Structure formats: C-alpha cells, structure tokens
Structure 1
Amino acid sequence: MPAAVAASGFEPPTIQDFFPPAVLFAGTPFELNRVMLIRLLALAALVAWLYFGTRKMKLVPGRGQVATEFALGFVRNNIAIETLGEEDGRRFMPVIMTMFFLTFGMNITGVIPALQLAGTAVIGLPVILALIAWALFIYAGFKKLGWTYLKNALFLPGVPWPLYFLLTPLEILSTFIVRPITLTMRLLMNMVSGHLLLALVYAASSFFLFTLLPQGNLFGLIGIGTVLFGIAYLAFEIFVALLQAYVFAFLTAIYIQLAVAEEH
C-alpha cells in the first residue's frame, strides 16, 4: 500500500490550502484571494437573506418567514435574553445576532461544494470577531459600573489583601488576555481541522476509487468506506459550524453579563 500511494503521487491536504494565491487585484491593497472571495460571498448571502427574509413580514407567515423568525428568535431568546436579561439582552442583541449569524455563515462555507473552505479558517476574521467581543464586554462593564468594573474584575471581594498579589495578575491574564485568545483559537482550530479532515477524506476517496481501483488494486475498495465516512463527517461538520457560532455568541453574552454584574 505505501508503495502504491507513493507511485500514484497522492498528495494529502496541507496548511497551504488556507493561503491560496491572489485571484483579483494582485499586488494592490485590494488584493483578493479565494478565502476573501468566499467571505464576501458569504456576507452577501447573509445580507440578502436578512433583507428579503424580513422585508415583508406577514401576520400569517409562509415557510421562509417561519424559518427566519425561528432563527432570529433562537438567538434572541436562548442567547441574548436568557443570558443577559430583558434590558441588557435587547441592548446588546444586534451585536450578538451579528456574531452568531456571521460566524455561522462563514463556518458553513466549509461544507458547500465548490467553496469547501470556511471563511473563519484563516485567523484574521476570528481575531477581529474576538477583539469586538473583548471591546464589547469591557465597554459594557465601564458603561454600567464605571471604574467599579475594573475593581470588581481585578480585586475579588472577600479575599485577604495579601492574596491580591497572586490573584490580581491571574485575573488580568484570564479576563483581558486569555478570553480573546481562547475565542479566536477555539473557532479557528475547529474550522482548520474540519477542513483538513474533509479534504483528506475527499482526496482519499478519489485516490482509492479512481486511481487504485481502475488499476485492479483491491485496496481501492477502501474508497467505499471513506465515502461513507465522508458523508457522516460532512453532517458532523454542519453541526460543528452551528455549534461554534452558538458558542462564540453565547460566550460573548456571558462575558458581557459578567462585566455588568455588580459583584463577581
């Protein structure tokens, strides 16, 4: 088998998949590669869906309106309102909605034929979303509590003051540094690993079924198993795309809720 693989020139997916060459405007500040085009396409699809899905709402909704209302209501009720309460939930709902649907829209491109690369699988977009979440919970804390927010965040109430020399640096690290990093890396790594595994399954299936099997090599029958695994994993990746969008929006809401709490 290894000799057959080597002789066939089989090339598994690599990290270079995430750094494709320029497609448009090469060498200019507006250079676009495949990843950027996928992001722009996903953004256009989201804007079109939200515009046409909410433009003419009816008292007796059709199927499209029911689906749109269900999606919006899910984020509203299960993330924004449930986590932050009615007042703060409504206040921060636009940003949380944007976080959820933008993340999901960029994630799901990883399983769409002809695209097959998540817009969040390159670090730039996850970093921007994480920095927005970071700035948002800091703003929310200062807006509601002023400098008391910083005091609550760095000096835990009820702790003997000598322990602050140990706990305060840890709180600075966990609250203001680790949070945006973990938001970024959780989203990025899930999308990167998902793409690499899906691409490996596709490449392996093609290799077994269309290279080895026509040569009479019975190892080509393994392709049947890789195809079945690919179908199952494709369904799993759709679930992961939705789950990561939920986690990102939910953690953003949790961080805001912790920031506006009177005490930690």
Structure 2
Amino acid sequence: MGTLVLAEGFVPPGAGDFNLPPIFGAVTKPMLLVVMSVVIIAAFFVITSRNMKVVPGKTQFVAESIYSFTRNTIAREHIGSKDFQRFVPLIFTLFTFIFVNNIYGIIPLIQFPTMSHIGFPLALSILVVYPVYHYVGMRRHGIGGYLKNQLFPAGVPGPIYLLLTPIEFFSKFVMNPITLAIRVFAAMFAGHLIILVFTLAGEWLLVEASAALKPVAAVSFAFAIAMTFLEALIMTIQAYVFALLAASYIGMALAEDH
C-alpha cells in the first residue's frame, strides 16, 4: 500500500524544474549567476595577485595552482610549446568560468549549475571556441590550406575522399562545437536532476509517506549526499574536459598535419 501511495503521490522533478521564472523583468537566476561568476573570478585573482609572496599563502597557492594547471597541463600539452602562450588566457578563462558556474550546483541557497541551461555552453562553444580555432588555423595555413588540411587528410586514396570529406566537414564544422557544449550540459543537467530526485523523494518520504516508508527517507538523503560529492568531482572534470578539448581543437588547427 505504501508503494502504491509513493507511486501516486510523489511527483519526480523533470526538465521543467530547470525553467526558472524571471526574478525581475526578463532577468533569470541563471543570468545573474553567470554575471556573478565573472565578478567572483575577477575579484579572487585580483585580490590574490596583489601582494604575491615567494612563499605563497593558501589563497595565492590556489590561484597559482589553477593558473599553472591550465597553462602547463592543458594549454602547453595540447596546443604545443611553440604556440600555447598566447592562448593561455582563453583556456584559463574557459576553465575557471565553467568550473564556477558548475560548482554553483552544490552551493547551499544557490544550488543551480548554470551550465545545465544549454544556451550557456552553446554560446561558449559556438561564439568563442569555434571561431577562434578556425580563425587561427586559416591565419596560419591560409583558407585554402586550412580547408585542405581539415577536409582532405594526407595519405588517403583519392576515391575515399568522396566518402571521407563530407564526414570530415560534418564532424569538424558542424558537430565539434555542438558536442563540446552538449558534454558539459548533459553532465550538469543529469547530475542536478539526480540530486533533486533523491532530495525531494527523501523529503516526501519523511513528510508525506506512510509510517512504514518514513525510514527509507534516510536512505534517500544519504544517496543525495553521496551524489553531491560525486557531482562536485564531475563538475571539475567537465570544466577540465571543455578547456582541454578547446585547446586540442586549437592545437589541431595550428598543426601542419591532421
């Protein structure tokens, strides 16, 4: 009977719960969070870089570690030691911006990852990363040379190009920016939805369910806590993956052979 009541009484969260109403005018919570993330990132790195010391304090150490990670582990390794330096600000900005907007999802009172709205990662991918790596590739190789490198890989028999070239075009000029955005969006959307399911289910079990089912609320809350820790890891990984793929696309665009 309790199971029947659970099935009939509990309404699980869905995609509609991500459509937040405007706070004022046409401004929504995700819009404010995006602006706030820029302020947070700028303020943190301005403050930590003001009085830098040879032996860094905790905040300086964190700031230097983030910069070193994006510079050496992401940009240098995937763009190449010859060209990476001028792209460090872009990779650094992408990583920190996505990380902060992801981590909102586990911060009390905020609890909403802005990258779970597809428009934000799409804007970063299509309006920032996509034009940058095509532009730098065309600037280095010329438009014709760049398109040749992208669409006609070396060492392929001539007739195979009839099949391979359309696939290369679709992959590099259509799907790359879309899949780059979908990766972070899907992870943030799914993770936040799972946490919502366990949290709201636990609340319903504790407040509304029959006495026999109330102890199950503790299990649901435990899963919600466990998923929150897991989601924190995924949020960090997704920021890293986005920045890494952006660097990889730039590196491939600059390379002589693809």
TM-score by length of structure 1 reads: 0.92
Matched, 1:182 2:176: no
Does the 8 Å CA contact 1:22/1:34 hold for their aligned counterparts? yes
Does the 8 Å CA contact 2:95/2:242 hold for their aligned counterparts? yes
Q: Percent of pairs identical after alignment?
A: 37
SS in 2 for 1:22: coil
Q: Which residue of 2 aligns with 1:66?
A: 61
Matched, 1:18 2:18: yes
Q: Which residue of 2 aligns with 1:133?
A: 129
Look up the equivalent residue of 1:110 and give its one-letter code.
G
Report the Cα offset of residue 137 of structure 1.
1.1
Look up the equivalent residue of 2:89 and give its one-letter code.
P
Report the Cα offset of residue 176 of structure 1.
0.8
Report the Cα offset of residue 51 of structure 1.
1.6
Q: Which residue of 2 aligns with 1:221?
A: 215
Alpha-carbon distance in 1 for matches of 2:37, 2:12:
27
Matched, 1:259 2:256: no
Give the gaps of 5 or more residues in structure 2: none
Report the Cα offset of residue 153 of structure 1.
0.6
> Greater CA deviation, 75-84 or 49-58?
49-58
> Greater CA deviation, 236-245 or 37-46?
37-46
RMSD: 1.5
Does the 8 Å CA contact 1:137/1:256 hold for their aligned counterparts? yes
Does the 8 Å CA contact 1:18/1:35 hold for their aligned counterparts? no
Q: Which residue of 2 aligns with 1:204?
A: 201
Q: Which residue of 2 aligns with 1:236?
A: 230
Alpha-carbon distance in 1 for matches of 2:102, 2:206:
29
Report the Cα offset of residue 263 of structure 1.
1.1
Report the Cα offset of residue 10 of structure 1.
2.8
Report the Cα offset of residue 40 of structure 1.
2.1
Look up the equivalent residue of 1:165 and give its one-letter code.
L
Does the 8 Å CA contact 2:79/2:252 hold for their aligned counterparts? no
Q: Which residue of 2 aligns with 1:192?
A: 189
Alpha-carbon distance in 2 for matches of 1:100, 1:261:
23
Look up the equivalent residue of 1:19 and give its one-letter code.
N
Matched, 1:248 2:242: yes
Give the number of equivalent residue pairs: 255
Report the Cα offset of residue 78 of structure 1.
0.5
Matched, 1:153 2:150: yes
Look up the equivalent residue of 2:95 and give its one-letter code.
F
Alpha-carbon distance in 1 for matches of 2:198, 2:62:
32
Alpha-carbon distance in 1 for matches of 2:62, 2:156:
49
Alpha-carbon distance in 1 for matches of 2:130, 2:21:
32
Matched ranges for 1:100-115 at <5 A: 100-115=95-110
The Cα offsets for residues 91-142 of structure 1, whole Å up to 9 and x where unpaired, read as 1111111111111111111111111111111111111111111111101211
Report the Cα offset of residue 84 of structure 1.
1.6
> Greater CA deviation, 116-125 or 82-91?
82-91
SS in 2 for 1:238: helix
Report the Cα offset of residue 75 of structure 1.
1.1
Matched, 1:89 2:90: no
> Greater CA deviation, 50-59 or 247-256?
50-59
Alpha-carbon distance in 2 for matches of 1:196, 1:81:
35
